[in-house]
Chain A
Amino acid sequence: MSQLMGDDLILKINRPQYVPFPELFLSELAWRLADLPGWTGTVQVDGEKKVLGLMYDVTSKDTKNVTFKATRPSKTDESRKNWISALYNNEFRFFSGDEEGNADAVEDAIRGVALDKSSRSVATPLSPNIALLQNRQGGFGKKSPIDIGLIVEQIFALGDPKIETYTDGVDEETKSATSLWYVAMRDRLHDDYELSRIDRSVADFILADEKNSGSGKTAKDIFPDRDDLVKLMKPRNEMIKNGQVSKVFLGEQTPFHWMHKAWTALNSEKWVRALPARRWTDWATTILRVGFGFSYIWDANWNLAIAGAITSSETEPNDAERCLYSTRSENQSKEKVTVEYILKSPRLLTGAAMRWKDSDNSLSIRDVAPLVRLTLSRGLQIRMILDEFIERQKAANLTLEESLYELYKDADLRQRLNEAQRDKFKPNAKSLWEAVKYSLLTRSGTGEVADFYGLLSSRSRKFLVIDPATEWIAAISSLAIDQPDGIGDLGKVLAELARLGLRPSPKELTNCLELAGLAQSAADADTAVLVKSAF
């Protein structure tokens, strides 16, 4: 492991906000690679500069800083004309009937889940060009919303065992979540003629838009060639150059590694072939939702573990070595407090991100909200203290161990770290809590827009319980088995969930798998229950 510095105490994951449309996760990956200046940045509206907010459908009025643009073809006569022409040019022919109506069917087919009462809706990001039909400015309705694509890359990198070898030079596509996705998409389009011609039609339609029409680009110019590693890795390399990625691999028992593994698996050829386009997109979104939500809980626990190491009565400073030692280890010999030591803290090693109680318990026992809220809030307060210290000590260029020593020696900071571990929920954590909660919450349980991919469920307005939707279980367990049409065992699924900090009882998980039609508990005991892949 290379020498870690004080700023490595803070995991480099940008602060989150509640992501109103999960489809934005994939769209933002697409926007990291797309070269489409006409639909990027600011535009002049009535003499004012505003950010262009793209949404598939939008009825919201412009805000002070954002001007919304609906990308759905039927919104204006002009765009509908462009759409019909794009379809025609890409070999869409309808044997009879109303041409406009048929064109509407295609645009309707890519419409995403529309939430009631929402003035904005998204397209399902089935392919790279369709994914461009919305952006984060449109989704959040803000000038500078969080960079979701960057956050996904940061989490993905933190889960990569090879993170310490990352450089900003040309690298394999497997070292970027974005390029993995893009290459997988190109493979899908190669095999799926219908989707491919819709993707091309959307590309032509985008380029025919007034804001892009003068660019001289063709459909092939929007995204890099799948073999052009320089362009494919450019956004990731910029992230490294800008110091936006951590340098430390935190082990395999983290949501980061879970996401890295699951994302790499899903984007492999076998899963791209095994899943129909819509399912694949839903699973991809699920991985990113889950990885996003749990990463912030782990980050909070990491901060708490650091604070615990600094404030523990079992830790003492070594002035000669300018580091901390602990006597906590089993043989009672002193152990240097390092990253490895922090990772061994029970909170990170065997702790639960949220307690998955059996569903036959009462709602109040199953409620996960109080603990997760507190963890996130306390973790955030500690992170802010650490941030303040690192900023103050910037010039000193302290190593990670020296930083821990200095934090220990600073009575005021130590006291604040102590208090932060016992704090009540603070209002400044509200945004973090909502980001985590809504990334994991089932959006709608019934009807045409039913969300089959949520983990959490609101009950009686007061409780937030773990109640995985059937397809959440299907996706997570199938990727744990990682063999389309294959069979694994319960132990494997439990092991993958443990990376997220989820530790259901074998009985409870078996019940969930049985409900999803993926397991039968009768024949084999405990963790040897056989689990079928959903596809």
Chain B
Amino acid sequence: MSTTSVAPTSGQDYFDCLHRLTERAFGGKNVADSGRGQVVQNFFVEGALASGATSAVEWFQDKLNNNYDQNKRFMLFLVGGPGNGKSYVARKIGSGLVELGTPLINKHARKYEFKCPNGQKLVSINDATIPERNINGLRIEFPLINNIVSAVSANDLLMVNVNRGILNQELQCQENSSEGRLIVEWLNSVGAINASEHDFDGWTLTEVETDVKKLKESIRSAKVSNSNSDLEINVLAVHLDRYSMFETQPVLKSCNDDSSGFPRIESIYKIRNFKDRSADFCRSTPAGALLSSFFDSANFKRPSSAPAEFVDPFAANLENFSKESFVAGFQNILRASELVSAKKVTYREMWGAISLAVIGSASQLAGDDFEGWLKDNQPAAESGRKRLSDLMKLANYRTHQSIFGAPQSGIDILTTTFKSPITDMTSKVDPATDAVLGEIAKPKQSKGWASPILETFQSHAEGESVLDSLLDLFRATGDVAADSVTSFDVKLDQEVTFALSESNEFLKDVEKRRLWAWYGEYLTRLYALSHGIPAFKFEIQVLTEILHNAQIRPSLSLDTKNAIKTLFLPYFNGDTTNRPVFLPLYNSRTEPIVDRTETAKLTMQTVAQLDYLPYTLGDSLVIELWSHVCVGQIVLDFPLLREALTSVGNFAGYTELAASLTPRIERLRSTMLKSGKPNNGYFVVSGPQVVEVSRG
């Protein structure tokens, strides 16, 4: 049974395609899936399911179609936040099955029930965040645990979409032991679990995977058996937001070693060094495949020929997305924004990003008539203040402006900003905020990239076109950025050049200066996006290098270790041989003593030899500090790494985030001051002198 109207297989024409994009823009009418109805191939092409979910779906569909031992139960849990495709998976599984009971009128409901081909009932908890109510309308407490227990007792197949917050809430509320709680506890755990601690009322949970490394992967399976009966619950869980869709996903293989047939991990999730993210690599990722299919001209219709004077920023954007290098650059910017903000781009956000990249904030303005809107917003024909203003307004819809949430400026209009969940992430990597001198082709000379733009602006002569100079340079050096320059940009450049020439006075000096700055940022973003260069490119490269290496072996390079050590535990400069770290014992600030002190300080010396052992959990980088036992743990996110990379020698530097990072850094240090933690004794540091305090 389907409640979803079947959409056209692709956009009917160019303007129809633009309009269709508004459905998936932020706040659009089709951003959330109901989890029920037929799966149809439509304009919004299907992306590969995240984090190994395809194998999980196959596994579960096998259980719907075949009869297994009556004592076996099968459950599939998709864990993750909204927008990751959980409901889409539910719809895929329920597609073709007969829905039981009276179909609900509400588009989104907590639970659907279906009759399976094998005769069993499938209970699909599509959205565990929606409260469950009993027949009297009263809210049921800890409904998920109840759902699990009911499915076990009724021999139903169970599929659940749930986020970790709900798992946590259920565990906090429900203290009674049950197989339901045991499973929820397992779902909520990361890494190995201690079987003896997870044994309730005869129910024992056994993790199927025995390789500890793989326990941190996105897909896990467990068997829950009862010593008092022959019941065995087979649970498969996929953590859908563990991995980035811009990276190589884990590979799974079906396993038929027993009737459970859980898919097993063949190769794990791999994080690519940011500097090695080539166009070929980008195309191979789930996001790359989605973008290629979506922007295929058979799917996204190109504009029919228009008069040469017709100005269309959306067509310019589409022209950019026809180039593989630009698509790769677009992906790399989104990937960088994930790393910097420590968030994942979900499918919902990916569609929002695509919509933003093609139609910008016009989704709110153009309504269902993009053609009419464009005609109404064509720039004045004659060069001058009005035409410049009109063109600048349209320029705000160019991909490289809208995707970073760049301020929407123009002459005679108030500067505004369009914010969305995706620009919250991408604005942190806006290349215009971090244009470092240097050339991409000469990485050994400098870490920067922006010299072509900055130097062209500097050497720009009166009345000359900046864009022409840049294009000459790009063509001379074979720079792919040339391919990203469209006829829209040329028209804009002509008008900017005209406005900035001394002979024209329709702009005041202050307006010319603002235009100059705005245009500089415009071209900087255009150039950076065509190469996929984010702000903090160097630091992002270091982060991905650490992540990449940590996936292979738990060790840090000497440089990285020193940088982290200097940030967290700089040593006392008075003893460069032993490099002791002294933490003031009871000060309000836990700032290690680095230099000679003005007054005598009572301190604790941390253990001398600390091992820094990194491990990854998805894209998170955790560094454990070990000295026989783990004495502390650092979640090294991007802001902390940036702070660490400013260190020089034994001196920590500061970024603009220092004020908020300092308490976090001091929190780790003060953990080491807890009684019972290993240390190297207590000392008085007085000026350059260090005196040990002994007992009795």
CB-nearest residue of chain A relative to B242? A523
Taken together as a complex, chains A and B put the C-alpha atoms of A282 and B586 apart, in Å, by 11
Contacts A97-B684, A470-B664, A530-B164 hold; do A191 and B676 have CB atoms under 8 A apart? yes
B588 touching A282, Cβ below 8 Å: yes
B82 touching A525, Cβ below 8 Å: yes
Taken together as a complex, chains A and B put the C-alpha atoms of A276 and B586 apart, in Å, by 9
B169 touching A489, Cβ below 8 Å: yes
| Residues in B whose Cβ lies below 8 Å from that of A320 | none
A528 touching B663, Cβ below 8 Å: no
B674 touching A109, Cβ below 8 Å: no
A522 touching B343, Cβ below 8 Å: yes
The stretch that binds A, out of B317-325, B547-555, B595-603, is B595-603
CB-nearest residue of chain A relative to B682? A194
Contacts A102-B686, A108-B602, A527-B165 hold; do A278 and B586 have CB atoms under 8 A apart? yes
Q: A95's contact among B241, B589, B694, by CB below 8 Å, is which?
A: B694
Taken together as a complex, chains A and B put the C-alpha atoms of A527 and B129 apart, in Å, by 10
Considering only residues 635-656 of chain B, those with a C-beta below 8 Å from chain A are 635, 637
| Residues in B whose Cβ lies below 8 Å from that of A492 | 172
| Residues in B whose Cβ lies below 8 Å from that of A474 | 663, 667
Contacts A488-B172, A491-B169, A530-B168 hold; do A277 and B586 have CB atoms under 8 A apart? yes
Considering only residues 87-134 of chain A, those with a C-beta below 8 Å from chain B are 91-98, 101-102, 104-106, 108-110, 112-113, 124, 126
CB of B305, distance to nearest CB on chain A (Å): 43
B600 touching A108, Cβ below 8 Å: yes
B692 at the interface (CB under 8 A from A): yes
Q: A94's contact among B169, B660, B693, by CB below 8 Å, is which?
A: B693
CB-nearest residue of chain B relative to A95? B692
A92 touching B241, Cβ below 8 Å: no
B589 touching A450, Cβ below 8 Å: yes
CB of B679, distance to nearest CB on chain A (Å): 10
Interface 1/0 per residue, A369-398 and B, CB below 8 Å: 000000000000000000000000000000
Considering only residues 153-200 of chain B, those with a C-beta below 8 Å from chain A are 163-166, 168-169, 172
A522 touching B585, Cβ below 8 Å: no
Taken together as a complex, chains A and B put the C-alpha atoms of A274 and B241 apart, in Å, by 31
Interface 1/0 per residue, A494-535 and B, CB below 8 Å: 000000000000000000000111001111111111100011
B581 at the interface (CB under 8 A from A): no
CB of A164, distance to nearest CB on chain B (Å): 27
Taken together as a complex, chains A and B put the C-alpha atoms of A192 and B601 apart, in Å, by 19
Contacts A491-B169, A522-B81, A530-B164 hold; do A105 and B342 have CB atoms under 8 A apart? no
Contact size range, A = 35 or more
| Residues in B whose Cβ lies below 8 Å from that of A45 | none
B695 touching A470, Cβ below 8 Å: no
Q: B663's contact among A193, A273, A452, by CB below 8 Å, is which?
A: A452
A409 at the interface (CB under 8 A from B): no
A279 at the interface (CB under 8 A from B): yes
A194 touching B82, Cβ below 8 Å: no
Considering only residues 329-345 of chain B, those with a C-beta below 8 Å from chain A are 341-344
B693 touching A470, Cβ below 8 Å: no
B689 at the interface (CB under 8 A from A): yes
CB of B655, distance to nearest CB on chain A (Å): 14
A448 at the interface (CB under 8 A from B): yes
Taken together as a complex, chains A and B put the C-alpha atoms of A270 and B637 apart, in Å, by 28
Considering only residues 478-494 of chain B, those with a C-beta below 8 Å from chain A are none
| Residues in A whose Cβ lies below 8 Å from that of B676 | 191, 273
If over half of B's interface residues share one DSSP class (helix, strand or loop), that class is named, otherwise mixed; here it is mixed
A525 touching B165, Cβ below 8 Å: yes
Taken together as a complex, chains A and B put the C-alpha atoms of A104 and B591 apart, in Å, by 19
Name the residue among B165, B589, B691, B693 with the largest chain A CB count within 10 angstroms: B165
Taken together as a complex, chains A and B put the C-alpha atoms of A97 and B80 apart, in Å, by 60
Contact size range, B = 35 or more
A278 touching B169, Cβ below 8 Å: no
B586 touching A528, Cβ below 8 Å: no
CB of B277, distance to nearest CB on chain A (Å): 21
| Residues in B whose Cβ lies below 8 Å from that of A535 | 667, 671
B169 touching A528, Cβ below 8 Å: yes
| Residues in B whose Cβ lies below 8 Å from that of A534 | 667
CB of A438, distance to nearest CB on chain B (Å): 18
Q: B693's contact among A93, A277, A489, by CB below 8 Å, is which?
A: A93
| Residues in A whose Cβ lies below 8 Å from that of B685 | 105
A522 touching B342, Cβ below 8 Å: yes
B81 touching A96, Cβ below 8 Å: no
CB of A443, distance to nearest CB on chain B (Å): 11
Taken together as a complex, chains A and B put the C-alpha atoms of A276 and B82 apart, in Å, by 38
Taken together as a complex, chains A and B put the C-alpha atoms of A301 and B168 apart, in Å, by 35
Taken together as a complex, chains A and B put the C-alpha atoms of A181 and B670 apart, in Å, by 22
CB of B579, distance to nearest CB on chain A (Å): 20
Considering only residues 430-475 of chain B, those with a C-beta below 8 Å from chain A are none
A487 at the interface (CB under 8 A from B): yes
| Residues in A whose Cβ lies below 8 Å from that of B694 | 93-95
B673 at the interface (CB under 8 A from A): yes
| Residues in A whose Cβ lies below 8 Å from that of B659 | 446
Q: A101's contact among B587, B675, B682, B686, by CB below 8 Å, is which?
A: B686
A365 at the interface (CB under 8 A from B): no
Contacts A91-B695, A105-B684 hold; do A528 and B343 have CB atoms under 8 A apart? no
CB of B142, distance to nearest CB on chain A (Å): 14
A275 at the interface (CB under 8 A from B): yes
Taken together as a complex, chains A and B put the C-alpha atoms of A93 and B342 apart, in Å, by 49
Q: B587's contact among A91, A109, A192, A530, by CB below 8 Å, is which?
A: A109
Taken together as a complex, chains A and B put the C-alpha atoms of A489 and B660 apart, in Å, by 22
Taken together as a complex, chains A and B put the C-alpha atoms of A256 and B71 apart, in Å, by 53
A105 touching B601, Cβ below 8 Å: yes
Q: B674's contact among A276, A282, A469, A487, by CB below 8 Å, is which?
A: A276
CB-nearest residue of chain B relative to A278? B586
Taken together as a complex, chains A and B put the C-alpha atoms of A487 and B659 apart, in Å, by 25
| Residues in B whose Cβ lies below 8 Å from that of A406 | none
Give 24 A-B contacts (CB < 8 Å), ordered by A residue: A91-B695, A92-B693, A101-B684, A102-B684, A105-B685, A108-B602, A109-B584, A109-B601, A191-B676, A194-B682, A278-B673, A450-B589, A470-B663, A474-B667, A489-B165, A491-B169, A523-B241, A525-B163, A525-B165, A528-B163, A528-B168, A529-B165, A530-B164, A534-B667
The 5 tightest CB contacts between A and B, nearest first, are: A528-B165, A522-B343, A105-B600, A109-B602, A91-B696
Interface positions of B (Cβ within 8 A of A): 80-82, 129, 163-166, 168-169, 172, 241, 341-344, 584-591, 599-602, 604, 635, 637, 659-661, 663-664, 667, 670-671, 673-676, 682, 684-686, 689, 691-696
